[in-house]
A and B are shown apart, each in its own frame.
Chain A
Amino acid sequence: VKCQHYPPVRALQASAALRRASDEHKKEPLTSSSQQHFDSPPASHQPEQEPQGPHPSYTGQGGQESEDYESEEQLQHRILTAALEFVPEHGWTAEAIAEGAKTLGLSVAAAGMFHSDGSELILHFVSECNTKLSKLLEKEQKLVQLGEAEKKPIDEFLRDAVEARLRMLIPYIEKWPQALSVLLLPRNIPSSLNLLTSMIDDIWHYAGDQSTDFNWYTRRAVLTGIYNTTELVMMQDSSPGFEDTWRFLGNRVADAMTMSNTASQVQSTGEAVVQGLMGAAVTVSNAETSRAVR
Protein backbone atom coordinates (compact mmCIF):
# COMPACT_ATOMS: atom_id res chain seq x y z
CA VAL A 1 0.00 0.00 0.00
CA LYS A 2 1.66 3.17 -1.15
CA CYS A 3 2.03 5.98 1.33
CA GLN A 4 0.80 9.19 -0.23
CA HIS A 5 2.01 12.70 0.47
CA TYR A 6 -0.20 15.68 -0.30
CA PRO A 7 0.28 19.41 -0.50
CA PRO A 8 -0.49 21.21 2.75
CA VAL A 9 -4.17 20.39 3.07
CA ARG A 10 -3.89 19.30 6.65
CA ALA A 11 -6.80 16.95 6.82
CA LEU A 12 -5.07 14.80 4.24
CA GLN A 13 -1.88 14.49 6.22
CA ALA A 14 -4.20 12.99 8.76
CA SER A 15 -4.93 10.16 6.37
CA ALA A 16 -1.23 9.49 5.96
CA ALA A 17 -0.71 9.83 9.68
CA LEU A 18 -3.59 7.49 10.25
CA ARG A 19 -2.17 4.90 7.92
CA ARG A 20 1.14 5.03 9.72
CA ALA A 21 -0.63 4.89 13.04
CA SER A 22 -2.72 1.94 11.98
CA ASP A 23 0.48 0.09 11.18
CA GLU A 24 1.17 0.42 14.88
CA HIS A 25 -2.31 -1.03 15.43
CA LYS A 26 -3.46 2.03 17.28
CA LYS A 27 -6.58 2.97 15.38
CA GLU A 28 -8.33 -0.29 14.63
CA PRO A 29 -11.73 0.57 16.03
CA LEU A 30 -11.75 3.64 13.80
CA THR A 31 -10.99 1.89 10.53
CA SER A 32 -13.55 -0.80 11.10
CA SER A 33 -16.23 1.74 11.86
CA SER A 34 -15.29 3.75 8.78
CA GLN A 35 -15.89 0.61 6.73
CA GLN A 36 -19.40 0.57 8.03
CA HIS A 37 -19.81 4.20 7.16
CA PHE A 38 -19.21 3.36 3.52
CA ASP A 39 -21.62 0.48 3.45
CA SER A 40 -24.62 1.82 5.29
CA PRO A 41 -24.45 5.49 5.99
CA PRO A 42 -27.55 7.11 7.42
CA ALA A 43 -28.77 4.51 9.85
CA SER A 44 -26.32 3.30 12.46
CA HIS A 45 -23.90 5.50 14.25
CA GLN A 46 -21.54 3.89 16.67
CA PRO A 47 -21.56 5.18 20.18
CA GLU A 48 -19.02 2.43 20.94
CA GLN A 49 -16.54 4.39 18.90
CA GLU A 50 -16.17 7.05 21.59
CA PRO A 51 -14.36 5.32 24.41
CA GLN A 52 -11.23 4.51 22.49
CA GLY A 53 -9.13 6.31 25.07
CA PRO A 54 -9.05 9.58 26.92
CA HIS A 55 -10.53 12.52 25.06
CA PRO A 56 -8.28 14.37 22.63
CA SER A 57 -6.64 17.26 24.43
CA TYR A 58 -6.73 20.51 22.50
CA THR A 59 -5.00 22.29 25.33
CA GLY A 60 -2.33 19.61 25.32
CA GLN A 61 -1.07 20.66 21.91
CA GLY A 62 1.54 22.97 23.27
CA GLY A 63 2.33 20.73 26.17
CA GLN A 64 3.72 17.31 26.74
CA GLU A 65 3.03 14.37 24.46
CA SER A 66 1.59 11.43 26.29
CA GLU A 67 0.86 8.05 24.79
CA ASP A 68 -2.72 9.09 24.06
CA TYR A 69 -1.74 12.41 22.51
CA GLU A 70 -3.69 12.96 19.36
CA SER A 71 -2.34 15.34 16.78
CA GLU A 72 -4.53 17.88 15.09
CA GLU A 73 -4.29 15.87 11.90
CA GLN A 74 -5.55 12.72 13.57
CA LEU A 75 -8.38 14.69 15.10
CA GLN A 76 -9.34 16.16 11.76
CA HIS A 77 -9.21 12.69 10.26
CA ARG A 78 -11.63 11.39 12.89
CA ILE A 79 -14.01 14.26 12.35
CA LEU A 80 -14.04 13.83 8.58
CA THR A 81 -14.60 10.11 8.85
CA ALA A 82 -17.49 10.71 11.22
CA ALA A 83 -18.88 13.38 8.87
CA LEU A 84 -19.17 10.96 5.95
CA GLU A 85 -22.23 9.43 7.50
CA PHE A 86 -24.08 12.73 7.15
CA VAL A 87 -23.10 13.43 3.56
CA PRO A 88 -26.11 11.76 1.90
CA GLU A 89 -28.32 14.09 3.86
CA HIS A 90 -26.35 17.35 3.96
CA GLY A 91 -24.05 16.99 0.98
CA TRP A 92 -20.31 17.69 1.14
CA THR A 93 -20.76 20.70 3.35
CA ALA A 94 -19.80 22.25 6.62
CA GLU A 95 -23.13 20.97 8.03
CA ALA A 96 -22.07 17.39 7.48
CA ILE A 97 -18.74 18.10 9.16
CA ALA A 98 -20.51 19.81 12.05
CA GLU A 99 -22.79 16.80 12.50
CA GLY A 100 -19.78 14.52 12.40
CA ALA A 101 -18.03 16.58 15.04
CA LYS A 102 -21.16 16.37 17.20
CA THR A 103 -21.15 12.57 17.12
CA LEU A 104 -17.60 12.63 18.48
CA GLY A 105 -18.71 14.81 21.33
CA LEU A 106 -17.05 17.90 19.92
CA SER A 107 -18.48 21.34 19.36
CA VAL A 108 -19.99 22.12 15.94
CA ALA A 109 -17.46 24.94 15.77
CA ALA A 110 -14.94 22.23 14.90
CA ALA A 111 -16.27 22.52 11.35
CA GLY A 112 -14.54 25.87 11.26
CA MET A 113 -11.23 24.00 10.91
CA PHE A 114 -12.17 23.17 7.36
CA HIS A 115 -13.05 24.97 4.15
CA SER A 116 -16.73 25.72 3.68
CA ASP A 117 -16.90 23.97 0.30
CA GLY A 118 -16.16 20.58 1.80
CA SER A 119 -12.88 20.16 -0.09
CA GLU A 120 -11.09 18.35 2.70
CA LEU A 121 -14.04 16.08 3.31
CA ILE A 122 -14.16 15.02 -0.33
CA LEU A 123 -10.40 14.55 -0.62
CA HIS A 124 -10.46 12.56 2.60
CA PHE A 125 -13.18 10.34 1.20
CA VAL A 126 -11.33 9.78 -2.06
CA SER A 127 -8.15 8.97 -0.19
CA GLU A 128 -9.96 6.47 2.02
CA CYS A 129 -11.56 4.80 -1.01
CA ASN A 130 -8.19 4.50 -2.69
CA THR A 131 -6.72 2.92 0.42
CA LYS A 132 -9.59 0.46 0.57
CA LEU A 133 -9.03 -0.42 -3.06
CA SER A 134 -5.31 -0.96 -2.50
CA LYS A 135 -5.98 -3.25 0.43
CA LEU A 136 -8.54 -5.18 -1.59
CA LEU A 137 -6.18 -5.64 -4.52
CA GLU A 138 -3.34 -6.63 -2.21
CA LYS A 139 -5.55 -9.24 -0.56
CA GLU A 140 -6.55 -10.67 -3.92
CA GLN A 141 -2.93 -10.76 -4.98
CA LYS A 142 -1.99 -12.73 -1.86
CA LEU A 143 -4.71 -15.26 -2.66
CA VAL A 144 -3.34 -15.73 -6.14
CA GLN A 145 0.20 -16.06 -4.82
CA LEU A 146 -0.93 -18.71 -2.35
CA GLY A 147 -2.57 -20.52 -5.22
CA GLU A 148 -6.01 -20.17 -3.69
CA ALA A 149 -7.38 -18.13 -6.57
CA GLU A 150 -6.98 -18.05 -10.30
CA LYS A 151 -5.04 -15.19 -11.85
CA LYS A 152 -7.55 -13.09 -13.77
CA PRO A 153 -6.99 -12.15 -17.40
CA ILE A 154 -6.01 -8.52 -17.71
CA ASP A 155 -9.33 -7.17 -19.01
CA GLU A 156 -11.29 -8.88 -16.27
CA PHE A 157 -8.86 -7.62 -13.64
CA LEU A 158 -9.15 -4.00 -14.80
CA ARG A 159 -12.91 -4.23 -15.06
CA ASP A 160 -13.26 -5.66 -11.56
CA ALA A 161 -10.87 -3.15 -10.02
CA VAL A 162 -12.62 -0.14 -11.57
CA GLU A 163 -16.01 -1.55 -10.66
CA ALA A 164 -14.96 -2.16 -7.06
CA ARG A 165 -13.67 1.38 -6.78
CA LEU A 166 -16.76 2.95 -8.33
CA ARG A 167 -19.07 0.90 -6.15
CA MET A 168 -17.66 2.77 -3.16
CA LEU A 169 -19.44 5.84 -4.51
CA ILE A 170 -22.87 4.24 -4.45
CA PRO A 171 -23.91 5.39 -0.97
CA TYR A 172 -22.98 8.96 -1.91
CA ILE A 173 -24.03 8.91 -5.53
CA GLU A 174 -26.67 11.65 -5.21
CA LYS A 175 -24.13 14.16 -3.96
CA TRP A 176 -21.19 12.94 -6.01
CA PRO A 177 -21.61 15.38 -8.93
CA GLN A 178 -21.19 18.17 -6.41
CA ALA A 179 -18.02 16.51 -5.15
CA LEU A 180 -16.63 16.18 -8.67
CA SER A 181 -17.07 19.87 -9.31
CA VAL A 182 -15.29 20.72 -6.04
CA LEU A 183 -12.44 18.39 -6.96
CA LEU A 184 -12.01 20.36 -10.16
CA LEU A 185 -11.49 23.67 -8.37
CA PRO A 186 -8.01 24.98 -9.20
CA ARG A 187 -7.08 24.91 -5.52
CA ASN A 188 -7.86 21.21 -5.31
CA ILE A 189 -6.53 20.03 -8.64
CA PRO A 190 -3.01 19.12 -7.49
CA SER A 191 -4.38 16.93 -4.70
CA SER A 192 -7.19 15.36 -6.68
CA LEU A 193 -4.91 14.67 -9.64
CA ASN A 194 -2.35 13.13 -7.33
CA LEU A 195 -5.00 10.85 -5.80
CA LEU A 196 -6.31 9.85 -9.21
CA THR A 197 -2.90 9.04 -10.65
CA SER A 198 -1.80 7.01 -7.67
CA MET A 199 -5.01 5.02 -7.76
CA ILE A 200 -4.58 4.23 -11.44
CA ASP A 201 -0.93 3.36 -10.87
CA ASP A 202 -1.96 1.03 -8.04
CA ILE A 203 -4.45 -0.78 -10.23
CA TRP A 204 -1.86 -1.32 -12.96
CA HIS A 205 0.74 -2.40 -10.43
CA TYR A 206 -1.52 -5.12 -9.06
CA ALA A 207 -2.56 -6.05 -12.60
CA GLY A 208 1.08 -6.97 -13.08
CA ASP A 209 2.23 -4.15 -15.31
CA GLN A 210 5.99 -4.23 -15.66
CA SER A 211 6.45 -1.81 -18.54
CA THR A 212 9.46 0.48 -18.36
CA ASP A 213 9.00 2.32 -21.62
CA PHE A 214 6.42 4.72 -22.97
CA ASN A 215 3.78 2.03 -22.53
CA TRP A 216 3.86 2.94 -18.85
CA TYR A 217 2.21 6.24 -19.75
CA THR A 218 -0.08 4.91 -22.47
CA ARG A 219 -1.56 2.26 -20.23
CA ARG A 220 -2.20 4.66 -17.40
CA ALA A 221 -3.68 7.27 -19.70
CA VAL A 222 -6.06 4.72 -21.21
CA LEU A 223 -7.16 3.42 -17.83
CA THR A 224 -7.68 6.96 -16.52
CA GLY A 225 -9.90 7.64 -19.52
CA ILE A 226 -11.89 4.48 -18.84
CA TYR A 227 -12.28 5.32 -15.17
CA ASN A 228 -13.35 8.93 -15.70
CA THR A 229 -15.86 8.20 -18.45
CA THR A 230 -17.36 5.33 -16.48
CA GLU A 231 -17.65 7.57 -13.42
CA LEU A 232 -19.56 10.13 -15.48
CA VAL A 233 -21.85 7.49 -16.93
CA MET A 234 -22.53 6.30 -13.42
CA MET A 235 -23.75 9.76 -12.42
CA GLN A 236 -26.44 9.57 -15.09
CA ASP A 237 -27.30 5.92 -14.63
CA SER A 238 -30.68 5.01 -13.26
CA SER A 239 -30.72 1.33 -14.20
CA PRO A 240 -31.16 -1.27 -11.46
CA GLY A 241 -27.86 -2.04 -9.76
CA PHE A 242 -26.07 0.30 -12.18
CA GLU A 243 -25.97 -2.49 -14.76
CA ASP A 244 -25.77 0.01 -17.62
CA THR A 245 -22.61 1.43 -16.07
CA TRP A 246 -20.94 -1.96 -15.69
CA ARG A 247 -21.85 -2.83 -19.24
CA PHE A 248 -20.36 0.46 -20.42
CA LEU A 249 -17.24 -0.30 -18.40
CA GLY A 250 -16.93 -3.74 -19.96
CA ASN A 251 -17.21 -2.28 -23.43
CA ARG A 252 -14.57 0.38 -22.78
CA VAL A 253 -12.12 -2.17 -21.42
CA ALA A 254 -12.77 -4.41 -24.42
CA ASP A 255 -12.17 -1.43 -26.72
CA ALA A 256 -8.84 -0.81 -25.03
CA MET A 257 -7.82 -4.44 -25.53
CA THR A 258 -8.82 -4.29 -29.20
CA MET A 259 -6.90 -1.05 -29.62
CA SER A 260 -3.78 -2.66 -28.25
CA ASN A 261 -4.17 -5.73 -30.46
CA THR A 262 -4.74 -3.53 -33.46
CA ALA A 263 -1.69 -1.47 -32.60
CA SER A 264 0.54 -4.56 -32.47
CA GLN A 265 -1.02 -5.89 -35.67
CA VAL A 266 -0.35 -2.63 -37.45
CA GLN A 267 3.22 -2.73 -36.23
CA SER A 268 3.86 -6.29 -37.43
CA THR A 269 2.15 -5.60 -40.75
CA GLY A 270 4.32 -2.54 -41.16
CA GLU A 271 7.46 -4.54 -40.44
CA ALA A 272 6.39 -7.22 -42.90
CA VAL A 273 5.74 -4.64 -45.61
CA VAL A 274 9.16 -3.05 -45.09
CA GLN A 275 10.85 -6.45 -45.32
CA GLY A 276 8.91 -7.19 -48.49
CA LEU A 277 10.03 -3.93 -50.06
CA MET A 278 13.66 -4.55 -49.08
CA GLY A 279 13.47 -8.02 -50.64
CA ALA A 280 11.98 -6.58 -53.82
CA ALA A 281 14.71 -3.95 -54.00
CA VAL A 282 17.44 -6.56 -53.60
CA THR A 283 15.83 -8.75 -56.29
CA VAL A 284 15.58 -5.87 -58.72
CA SER A 285 19.18 -4.82 -58.15
CA ASN A 286 20.37 -8.42 -58.63
CA ALA A 287 18.36 -8.65 -61.86
CA GLU A 288 19.95 -5.41 -63.11
CA THR A 289 23.42 -6.63 -62.21
CA SER A 290 22.99 -9.95 -63.95
CA ARG A 291 21.55 -8.22 -67.03
CA ALA A 292 24.51 -5.83 -67.11
CA VAL A 293 26.90 -8.77 -66.89
CA ARG A 294 25.18 -10.48 -69.85
Chain B
Amino acid sequence: VPGGAAALRLCSTRVAQEGINKPVIDRIIRVDHAGEYGANRIYAGQMAVLGRSSVGPVIQQMWNQEKVHLKKFNELMVAYRVRPTVLLPFWNVAGFVLGAGSALLGKKGAMACTVAVEESISEHYNNQIRTLIEEDPEKYKELLQVIKQFRDEEQEHHDIGLEHDAEATPAYSILKTAIQLGCKAAIFLSERI
Protein backbone atom coordinates (compact mmCIF):
# COMPACT_ATOMS: atom_id res chain seq x y z
CA VAL B 1 0.00 0.00 0.00
CA PRO B 2 1.37 3.48 -0.86
CA GLY B 3 4.26 4.84 1.16
CA GLY B 4 7.58 3.19 1.82
CA ALA B 5 8.29 0.53 4.35
CA ALA B 6 10.07 3.17 6.37
CA ALA B 7 6.75 4.54 7.54
CA LEU B 8 5.75 1.21 9.07
CA ARG B 9 7.07 0.28 12.45
CA LEU B 10 5.91 -1.30 15.69
CA CYS B 11 3.44 1.13 17.19
CA SER B 12 5.04 1.34 20.60
CA THR B 13 5.06 5.12 20.61
CA ARG B 14 1.43 5.42 21.62
CA VAL B 15 0.30 7.81 24.34
CA ALA B 16 -2.34 6.65 26.82
CA GLN B 17 -5.65 7.71 25.32
CA GLU B 18 -7.83 7.44 28.38
CA GLY B 19 -8.72 10.60 30.21
CA ILE B 20 -7.61 13.10 27.59
CA ASN B 21 -10.04 15.38 25.83
CA LYS B 22 -9.61 13.70 22.48
CA PRO B 23 -11.53 16.15 20.27
CA VAL B 24 -9.62 19.14 21.64
CA ILE B 25 -6.20 17.47 21.43
CA ASP B 26 -7.00 16.15 17.96
CA ARG B 27 -7.70 19.64 16.68
CA ILE B 28 -4.66 21.14 18.32
CA ILE B 29 -2.25 18.60 16.93
CA ARG B 30 -3.84 18.51 13.50
CA VAL B 31 -3.77 22.26 13.02
CA ASP B 32 -0.27 22.65 14.48
CA HIS B 33 1.02 19.92 12.20
CA ALA B 34 -0.59 21.63 9.22
CA GLY B 35 0.86 24.95 10.33
CA GLU B 36 4.42 23.69 10.63
CA TYR B 37 4.05 21.87 7.33
CA GLY B 38 2.87 25.09 5.68
CA ALA B 39 5.66 27.11 7.30
CA ASN B 40 8.19 24.64 5.92
CA ARG B 41 6.81 25.10 2.44
CA ILE B 42 6.78 28.89 2.78
CA TYR B 43 10.46 28.95 3.69
CA ALA B 44 11.20 26.49 0.88
CA GLY B 45 9.54 28.88 -1.56
CA GLN B 46 11.49 31.82 -0.19
CA MET B 47 14.75 29.91 -0.44
CA ALA B 48 13.98 28.93 -4.02
CA VAL B 49 13.98 32.63 -4.95
CA LEU B 50 16.30 34.23 -2.40
CA GLY B 51 18.53 31.29 -1.52
CA ARG B 52 21.61 32.85 -3.08
CA SER B 53 20.99 36.37 -1.84
CA SER B 54 22.31 37.98 1.33
CA VAL B 55 19.30 36.91 3.38
CA GLY B 56 19.66 33.32 2.23
CA PRO B 57 21.44 32.11 5.39
CA VAL B 58 18.91 33.82 7.65
CA ILE B 59 15.98 32.19 5.89
CA GLN B 60 17.79 28.85 5.85
CA GLN B 61 18.30 29.01 9.60
CA MET B 62 14.64 29.78 10.26
CA TRP B 63 13.68 26.99 7.88
CA ASN B 64 15.84 24.53 9.77
CA GLN B 65 14.02 25.35 12.99
CA GLU B 66 10.68 24.81 11.28
CA LYS B 67 11.90 21.41 10.12
CA VAL B 68 12.54 20.49 13.74
CA HIS B 69 9.05 21.68 14.68
CA LEU B 70 7.47 19.61 11.92
CA LYS B 71 9.38 16.53 13.00
CA LYS B 72 8.10 16.96 16.54
CA PHE B 73 4.52 17.27 15.42
CA ASN B 74 4.88 14.20 13.22
CA GLU B 75 5.84 12.29 16.35
CA LEU B 76 2.99 13.74 18.39
CA MET B 77 0.55 12.93 15.61
CA VAL B 78 1.49 9.27 15.71
CA ALA B 79 1.59 9.16 19.50
CA TYR B 80 -1.90 10.63 19.89
CA ARG B 81 -3.27 8.86 16.80
CA VAL B 82 -4.44 12.06 15.19
CA ARG B 83 -5.59 12.27 11.60
CA PRO B 84 -3.71 14.76 9.43
CA THR B 85 -5.73 17.37 7.58
CA VAL B 86 -6.98 16.42 4.11
CA LEU B 87 -5.76 19.77 2.87
CA LEU B 88 -2.06 18.90 3.18
CA PRO B 89 -1.45 18.66 -0.58
CA PHE B 90 -3.11 22.06 -0.91
CA TRP B 91 -0.98 23.64 1.84
CA ASN B 92 2.03 22.11 0.12
CA VAL B 93 1.42 24.14 -3.01
CA ALA B 94 -0.11 27.22 -1.38
CA GLY B 95 2.74 27.55 1.09
CA PHE B 96 5.40 27.31 -1.59
CA VAL B 97 3.57 29.82 -3.79
CA LEU B 98 3.21 32.24 -0.88
CA GLY B 99 6.89 31.94 -0.01
CA ALA B 100 8.10 32.28 -3.59
CA GLY B 101 5.62 35.03 -4.34
CA SER B 102 6.59 37.12 -1.34
CA ALA B 103 10.27 36.56 -2.13
CA LEU B 104 9.73 37.82 -5.68
CA LEU B 105 8.69 41.12 -4.08
CA GLY B 106 12.24 41.31 -2.81
CA LYS B 107 14.03 40.58 0.43
CA LYS B 108 11.80 42.98 2.34
CA GLY B 109 8.74 41.28 0.89
CA ALA B 110 9.93 37.90 2.09
CA MET B 111 10.57 39.33 5.55
CA ALA B 112 7.13 40.94 5.59
CA CYS B 113 5.59 37.57 4.81
CA THR B 114 7.61 36.01 7.60
CA VAL B 115 6.48 38.67 10.07
CA ALA B 116 2.83 38.23 9.12
CA VAL B 117 2.87 34.46 9.31
CA GLU B 118 4.90 34.23 12.50
CA GLU B 119 2.65 36.75 14.22
CA SER B 120 -0.39 34.70 13.29
CA ILE B 121 1.22 31.51 14.47
CA SER B 122 2.38 33.00 17.77
CA GLU B 123 -1.11 34.28 18.52
CA HIS B 124 -2.55 30.92 17.58
CA TYR B 125 -0.12 29.05 19.85
CA ASN B 126 -0.99 31.42 22.68
CA ASN B 127 -4.67 30.56 22.25
CA GLN B 128 -3.85 26.89 22.41
CA ILE B 129 -1.75 27.34 25.52
CA ARG B 130 -4.68 29.11 27.17
CA THR B 131 -7.05 26.32 26.15
CA LEU B 132 -4.78 23.60 27.50
CA ILE B 133 -4.17 25.43 30.76
CA GLU B 134 -7.92 25.85 31.20
CA GLU B 135 -8.38 22.12 30.57
CA ASP B 136 -5.74 20.62 32.80
CA PRO B 137 -2.15 21.90 32.93
CA GLU B 138 -0.90 18.77 34.65
CA LYS B 139 -2.32 16.27 32.22
CA TYR B 140 -1.06 18.13 29.18
CA LYS B 141 2.27 19.19 30.62
CA GLU B 142 4.42 17.77 27.83
CA LEU B 143 2.26 19.19 25.09
CA LEU B 144 2.21 22.58 26.81
CA GLN B 145 5.97 22.58 27.05
CA VAL B 146 6.33 21.83 23.36
CA ILE B 147 3.88 24.50 22.30
CA LYS B 148 5.42 27.11 24.58
CA GLN B 149 8.87 26.45 23.21
CA PHE B 150 7.68 26.58 19.64
CA ARG B 151 5.77 29.77 20.30
CA ASP B 152 8.95 31.37 21.61
CA GLU B 153 10.87 30.32 18.52
CA GLU B 154 8.18 31.59 16.18
CA GLN B 155 8.27 34.88 18.06
CA GLU B 156 12.03 34.98 17.40
CA HIS B 157 11.42 34.52 13.69
CA HIS B 158 8.93 37.36 13.83
CA ASP B 159 11.53 39.60 15.44
CA ILE B 160 14.19 38.58 12.91
CA GLY B 161 11.78 39.53 10.14
CA LEU B 162 11.30 42.98 11.67
CA GLU B 163 15.06 43.41 12.06
CA HIS B 164 15.46 42.83 8.34
CA ASP B 165 13.29 45.78 7.35
CA ALA B 166 10.04 43.94 6.82
CA GLU B 167 8.08 47.10 7.57
CA ALA B 168 9.81 48.96 4.75
CA THR B 169 8.07 46.80 2.20
CA PRO B 170 5.80 48.73 -0.14
CA ALA B 171 2.14 48.11 0.79
CA TYR B 172 3.32 46.45 3.98
CA SER B 173 0.06 46.73 5.89
CA ILE B 174 -2.05 45.46 3.00
CA LEU B 175 0.30 42.55 2.43
CA LYS B 176 0.37 41.73 6.12
CA THR B 177 -3.42 41.87 6.48
CA ALA B 178 -3.98 39.71 3.43
CA ILE B 179 -1.51 37.08 4.59
CA GLN B 180 -2.91 37.00 8.11
CA LEU B 181 -6.41 36.59 6.75
CA GLY B 182 -5.18 33.64 4.74
CA CYS B 183 -3.57 32.18 7.87
CA LYS B 184 -6.80 32.52 9.83
CA ALA B 185 -8.70 30.70 7.09
CA ALA B 186 -6.05 27.99 6.95
CA ILE B 187 -6.22 27.49 10.71
CA PHE B 188 -10.02 27.35 10.67
CA LEU B 189 -10.09 24.76 7.90
CA SER B 190 -7.23 22.59 9.14
CA GLU B 191 -8.79 22.28 12.58
CA ARG B 192 -11.92 20.83 11.05
CA ILE B 193 -11.01 18.98 7.90
Which residues of A line the B interface, CB within 8 A? Answer: 2-3, 141, 144-145, 151, 154, 158, 201, 205-219, 222-223, 256-257, 259-260, 263-264
Contacts and interface: CB of A to CB of B under 8 A. Distances in A.
Contact of B89 (A212, A214, A260): A214
A52 B88 CA distance: 52
B10 interface: yes
Contacts of B3: 211, 215, 218-219, 260
Given A154-B1, A264-B4, A212 B78 contact: yes
A139 B75 CA distance: 24
Contact of B2 (A151, A206, A259): A259
A216 B84 contact: yes
A206 B12 CA distance: 9
A255 B5 CA distance: 16
A145 B13 CA distance: 12
Contacts of A201: 81, 83
Contacts of B8: 154, 207-210
Contact of A211 (B7, B12, B73): B7
Contacts of A144: 10
Nearest to A256: B1
A205 B80 CA distance: 11
A137 to B, nearest CB: 10
B176 interface: no
For the complex of A and B, list the 3 residue pairs with the smallest distance between their C-beta atoms, beginning with the closest. Answer: A215-B3, A208-B8, A260-B2
A257 B10 contact: no
A263 B3 CA distance: 9
Contacts of B18: 3
B15 interface: no
Contacts of B17: 2-3
B148 to A, nearest CB: 22
Contacts of A151: 10
Nearest to B13: A210
A55 B78 CA distance: 44
A207 to B, nearest CB: 7
Contacts of A260: 1-3
A154 B11 CA distance: 13
Contact of A219 (B1, B13, B77): B1
A218 B11 contact: no
Given A3-B17, A210-B78, A217-B86, A141 B7 contact: no
B74 interface: yes
B52 interface: no
Nearest to A2: B17
A215 B10 contact: no
Interface in B1-60: 1-5, 7-13, 17-18, 33
A222 B1 contact: yes
Contacts of A212: 33, 73-74, 77-78, 84
Given A216-B84, A218-B3, 6 more contacts: A144-B10, A201-B81, A208-B10, A210-B9, A218-B1, A256-B1
Contacts of A264: 2, 4
A263 B81 contact: no
A210 B86 contact: no
A141 B11 CA distance: 9
26 contacts: A2-B81, A3-B17, A141-B10, A151-B10, A154-B1, A158-B1, A206-B11, A207-B8, A209-B8, A210-B8, A210-B9, A210-B13, A212-B73, A213-B88, A214-B84, A215-B3, A215-B7, A217-B86, A219-B2, A219-B3, A222-B1, A222-B2, A223-B1, A259-B2, A260-B2, A264-B2
Nearest to B12: A145
